[in-house]
Each structure stands twice: as structure tokens, then as C-alpha cells.
Amino acid sequence: MRELMADASSLPQQRQTPPQALLERLKDFGQEDAFALWDELSPEERLLLVNDIESLDLSRIDRVIRCSFRSHGQHDSGLPMAAIEPVPESWYRQWRSGPLGTERGWWKMGWKAISDGKLAVLLLSGGQGTRLGGSDPKGCFNIGLPSGKSLFQLQAERILCVQSLAAEAINDGSAGSVQIHWYIMTSPFTDEATRKFFESHKFFGLEPDQVTFFQQGTIPCVSKDGRFIMETPYKVAKAPDGNGGVYTALKSSKLLENMSMRGIKYVDCYGVDNALVRVADPTFLGYFIDKGVVTAAKVVRKAYPQEKVGVFVRRGKGGPLTVVEYSELDPSMASAINQGTGRLRYCWSNVCLHMFTLDFLNHVANGLEKDSIYHLAEKKIPSIHGHTMGFKLEQFIFDAFPYAPSTALFEVLREEEFAPVKNINGSTFDTPESAKLLILRLHSRWVVAAGGFLTHSVPLYATGVEVSPLCSYAGENLEAICRGRTFHAPCEITF
């Protein structure tokens, strides 16, 4: 609580006018409308409003609003189109393109780092998930798999699986010998429900002390003229400050020191809403270590020129890597072909799967904290006038990439690693149903490759089997369970 903040005893119950000093401050920033309904408020509501405004760092917020509006309408990345270059060939690794054995080398390097306790997993789970609807955080969502598992459970079980594979890889199969710490970023909108969900599910078999929750910040939502939107007559509408808020949140929660104390060197970071995410992927980690870079991203190939995904580009000749949103890439650039490779010139789609060194996180947390240009996301905001269109101010996780002296991209197959859960069932794409089917199809292929058979009473394109992450991380170790056996889809295959 800041010094100025009022409590019930310091605010006269019968106050007729807003506190003058606070009103003057709001006027300095053109936000005095926040007190427009003062006369209609009860004494308790007036107190809530004063405390709400006092809790805001008004001068910083004003700077962010002004800088963000000024740069909005230019390209979000602040780049003129002429300055955008394709990612150089040497900066990415195409899917399984390396010499035979490289993959195995990375896999080994990854296991070694994991079993030495050098990897942490960082989950971005502070978003409001408005497109998906529902009141629970996205991670609690059951996408309709035969097991009924939530996204959080799928991810927790993948961590458990990696832990036991790592213990085997170092010839120490004993349970608990390898532990991966899981940092989970929530926001005031998802924090309590997320913690309760983990507690009521006994942390899905993980040790409670290997999970750390922390909250990201929020920032007021604003109208088209940059004024605060009021959610109620005594509360400013606020939203989480974007998944890029993670850098500042890690710093302010002192978790970068916490990671360092644990001996963590590498951080695997991802969004909660990818049902196929390979959490703590040892191959990706090995590639990252082998390349000696400070950041890396898994990418998938853009499906078609107009696909609505952000793509990695290079900021000018000799410049760093960054992401441009689909809306920023003009149609001729979006459909340009690289004559040498036959691929789109800008084809590496960002799917929010990143690896960072801890040193880089420390570096970027200090830099981005001072950055005042946020992305303006036009969304429906709950307000005293019902849901109204306005702007959420957000930093994005990839805003950090231009700060990186070295970056590498790692191509993965969409059907193996990317099943986004963004929109409610019935929408045309990225729904729980489409994510469920992607899992069932992939896992059915694993089971058949391991010598199993499938029967099904609905067409196979609409069903399949689910393999518990406790049995297999990426299709390995399934022969003993599947060879010669027949499974009737849909069902879950577990030990």
C-alpha cells in the first residue's frame, strides 16, 4: 500500500468533494473523468475509488498511454516495412534436417542439463481467455479428451514424464531424483482459481514445493481517446499487462534470484493454451545449449500466406530477430516466395514456445521495465455502460527478442506440437474440439507405430486414442503397452 492510500478512518465519511490533490494529479494527465460520478457514490464507494486511483502509478501509466498511442497505427513493431528482412538460413534449423545423430546428441545434452537441475519451466497463464469464455482460468479447461484431463494436468504430467525419463537417462531411476521447478504466472483474474485448482488436484502428482505461483501486473484499459474506462463508478477497468509482463513480474517477485539460487540456467517458457505443448523438451534444450544462443523459439511453418499468425523476421540487415503481426505484413510481402527454397520468404510462425538463458531474463527485465511502448489490443471491456470497445495495453513475450544478441529458431511440426485452444467450440478454428482431435490423431499414430490396433465406431477422423503423458512424452516407450493389443477409440491408454 502506498503512503497516500486512504483508509476508512482517514477519509471523512461525509466528504463532499474528491480529494483535491488527487483530482489535480488526475487533471495533469487528463484523467479527471474518473471522478465524474463522485456525487452519486456512497462514502464506502468514494473510499474504494480513492484507493483504486491511489494504487496507480499515474505518471508511468500516462507515459505508456501516450507512447503507445503515438506508435499505434505505425507498425506495432515500430518497423518500416523496408527494414524487414527474412530470417537468415543459419539462424534456424529445419525440422529434422541435421545430419543423422545430431538429434540424439541434443537429446542427450538436454537430459544432462535437466538432470543437473539447470532447467526451469515457466508457464504464462495470466490471460483472461475472453474468447474461450467461461469463468475459470484457461488451464482448468477440459478440452473433451477421453481422460477428461485439464490443460494444467496434461502439462503437469508431461513434467512428471520428463523427470522420470531424465532419471532413467542418468541411470538413476529413483523417483524424485530429478525435479523440474515450475513457475506459473497468473494475474489477479486467474490467481486464486489457479492455486485452488492445483491444491484440489494435489498438484497432479508433483511436489507442491516444486511449483511457484506469481502474479503479473495490470494496467488500466482506455478508450480511443486514451481515457480510463470505468468498470464501475468507483473502479477503473484494468487488464493484465500482456504475457510480456512476465519479465517485470519475475523481477519484482524476486524470482530471478530464486532461480539463480536453485542453480537454474535455462528457462523453457510457453503459453497455457497449447494442448500439445512439449513442456521441458530435452531436444529443444540440447539444441539451444549447442547453439550457444541466449534465446530460441520453436516455430511452425506458416500454412498459407494469409494465415493470421505473427512471423519471425530480421530487423534490417544485420539487425536482431523480432516478430511482426500478420496485420503488419503487407499482402505482397506475406505471399513473397524465396526462389531458392520454394518457401514463403516470411514463413516462421511464432507459437509462443521459447527458451531463454537466465542471464538474458535478467538483462531484459531491466530493459523492458523502462519500455513505454505497449501494444494496443482492441477488445470488449466491461464498463459502466455495459461491454464497450476499448484498448488493453499489453507487452508481448516476443518484445524481448530485439534485446537478444543471439537467437535461434527451431522448426517443429504443427501436428506434433501445436494445438491452440483460443475460441469456444463452434468457432471455425483453434477450439477445444480441434485441439482434442489433434491430440487423438497424433496419439493414434504413435499407438499404430508401436504395433497397436485401433477399432472405432465413429469415423477415425473424429476420434482416436489418447496416450497418458505418464506413459509417453513424444511417442517413445509404447511398444510394451501397445504391441499386438487392440484399443477401441475413443479411450485413454495408461499403465
C-alpha cell at 210: 516444486
CB nearer to ligand UTP: give 52 or 191. 191
Report, in Å, the least distance between residue 191 CB and ligand UTP: 11
Q: Assess 402 for contact with ligand UTP (CB under 6 A).
A: no
- Greatest alpha-carbon span in the chain: 81
Nearer to ligand UTP, 287 or 312 (CB): 312
Residue nearer to ligand UTP on the CB measure, 130 or 427: 130
Q: Is 243 in the site for ligand UTP (CB under 6 A)?
A: yes
Phi, then psi, of 221 in degrees rounded to 5: -90, 145
Contact flags string 245-264 toward ligand UTP, x per CB under 6 A: x-------------------
Q: Does 102 bind ligand UTP (CB under 6 A)?
A: no
Question: Sign of the CA dihedral 457, 463, 467, 469?
Answer: negative
Query: Binding to ligand UTP by residue 472, rule CB under 6 A?
Result: no
Q: C-alpha distances in angstroms, 393 versus 25, 376, 430?
A: 21, 5, 24
Site string for ligand UTP, 33-62 (x = CB under 6 A): ------------------------------
Q: Does 185 bind ligand UTP (CB under 6 A)?
A: yes
Contact between 273 and ligand UTP by CB under 6 A: the answer reads yes
**Position among 86, 240, 452, 469 found at the interface with ligand UTP (CB under 6 A):** 240
Interface with ligand UTP includes 125 (CB under 6 A)? yes
- Is 179 a binding residue for ligand UTP by CB under 6 A? The answer is no
Q: Does 282 bind ligand UTP (CB under 6 A)?
A: no
Using CA atoms, how far residue 11 sits from 19, 23, 192, 281, 419, in Å, is: 9, 15, 30, 55, 52
Does position 126 bind ligand UTP by CB under 6 A? Answer: yes
**Residue found by looking up cell 456512497 in the block:** 42
Q: 222: closest CA among 56, 70, 388?
A: 388
Least Å distance, CB 134 to ligand UTP, is 11
131 binds ligand UTP (CB under 6 A): yes
> Which is nearer to ligand UTP, 349 or 444 (by Cβ)?
349
Q: Alpha-carbon distance 46 to 54, whole Å?
A: 12
Among 18, 129, 220, 310, binds ligand UTP (CB under 6 A): 129
> Are 280 and 155 contacting, i.e. CB atoms less than 8 angstroms apart?
no
User: Does residue 489 bind ligand UTP (CB under 6 A)?
Assistant: no
User: Is the Cβ–Cβ distance between 378 and 73 less than 8 Å?
Assistant: no
CB of 381 to ligand UTP, least distance (A): 11
The reply on whether position 427 binds ligand UTP by CB under 6 A is no
Contacting range for ligand UTP; rule: CB under 6 A; set: 3-11, 145-153, 266-274, 363-371: 266-274
**Residue 210 binds to ligand UTP (criterion: CB under 6 A):** no
Regarding 298 and contact with ligand UTP (CB under 6 A), the answer is: no
The reply on whether position 326 binds ligand UTP by CB under 6 A is: no
* Nearest distance from C-beta of residue 181 to ligand UTP, angstroms: 18
Q: How far is the CB of 394 from ligand UTP (least distance, A)?
A: 6
Min separation Cβ 94 and ligand UTP, Å = 26
Q: Does 128 bind ligand UTP (CB under 6 A)?
A: yes
Q: Which segment (164-172, 265-273, 296-304, 311-319) binds ligand UTP by CB under 6 A?
A: 265-273
Separation of alpha carbons 158 and 474, rounded Å = 10
Single out the residue of 242, 282, 464, 469 in contact with ligand UTP (rule: CB under 6 A).
242
Residues that bind ligand UTP (CB under 6 A): 124-131, 138, 185, 187, 216, 240-243, 245, 271-273, 422
